[in-house]
Amino acid sequence: MTQDSRGSGPRDAEDQPIFGSFAVGSEQDRKAREALRQLRESAQDDSMRRSVESVLNGRATIQQLFDSPEIKARMTALNERVQDEVRQMTPEQRAEMMKRFRPAEER
């Protein structure tokens, strides 16, 4: 974070790119920043909070965040949990789930 110009405390660096293909200030950029802020606020530990904060304040990119061993381990665990849940579904439940994830024009 950078220091707020009013001296009221740290703020996110809105002028720093966080993801190479998102133009700063674009809708995708705003959505990515909001998702990162939510991730930062919900982080269970200081290490994760600091990692996300480093992206928001321009010291790291999203790619660097996702390349970190900590995030890779969390994503692997999440993927395994989702796969286990899908395996436990009935064929009908899986079909319904897949229908919800299809684009609207394919439903």
d(CA 9, CA 76): 36
Contact predicate 57/63, CB 8 Å: no
- Residue 48 main-chain phi, psi, to 5 deg: -65, -45
Q: Tokens representing 74?
A: 């969390």
**Dmax over Cα atoms in the chain, in whole Å?**
58
DSSP 3-state assignment of 58?
coil
Question: What's the confidence (pLDDT) of residue 1?
Answer: 41
DSSP H or E stretch at residue 3: strand 2-3
Q: Which residue has the higher pLDDT, 19 or 73?
A: 73
Question: What is the value of pTM for the model shown?
Answer: 0.56
Residue pLDDT, tens place only, 37-86? 998 998 888 888 999 999 888 888 888 888 888 888 888 988 899 999 99
